[in-house]
Amino acid sequence: MSEILDLIAGLLVVTGCVFVLAGGIGALRMPDFYTRIHGASLTDSLGPVLVLGGLMVNAGLTLISVKLAAVMLLLMVTSPTATYALANAALLAGLKPEGVEHDTTEPEKPA
């Protein structure tokens, strides 16, 4: 029984790590800011959920699991909010998405 649980925990954590890494690579390699947000959001949502979920399976039904669940919930709530705030700030400051109306001049601030 405990071997199966260990296996499940390991599987969850490793899958989570794959998502975290993929998101990290996406945030580095994507062509412009707004697409990079897409990459980063992956590391902020699915990755932590899987990693923390795996650790919860590992810890069993204890206070540790409750704390992990709290961390997981908070991350699920806060990181989309942070992403929203970030995209909004960039748009407000005049950063244009690539390919929408491509101009090479400096992003103009509202004067």
Interacting residue with other proteins among 10, 60, 98, 99 (CB under 8 A) = 10
Sign of CA dihedral 42, 43, 47, 48: negative
Per the structure block, which two tokens stand in for 90?
């960039």
CA 83 – CA 78 distance, rounded (Å): 9
Q: Is 31 in the site for other proteins (CB under 8 A)?
A: no
How far apart are CB 60 and other proteins at their closest, in Å?
Answer: 11
Sequence-distant (6+) residues with CB within 8 A of 105 are none
Amino acid in the structure at residue 73: L
Which residue's structure tokens are 């993929």? 22
How far apart are CB 58 and other proteins at their closest, in Å?
Answer: 7
Q: Is 46 in the site for other proteins (CB under 8 A)?
A: no
Positions touching other proteins (CB under 8 A) are 9-10, 13-14, 16-18, 20-21, 23-25, 27-28, 33, 36-37, 40, 43-44, 47-48, 51-52, 54-55, 58-59, 64, 67-68, 70-71, 74-75, 77-86, 88-90, 92-93, 95, 109-111
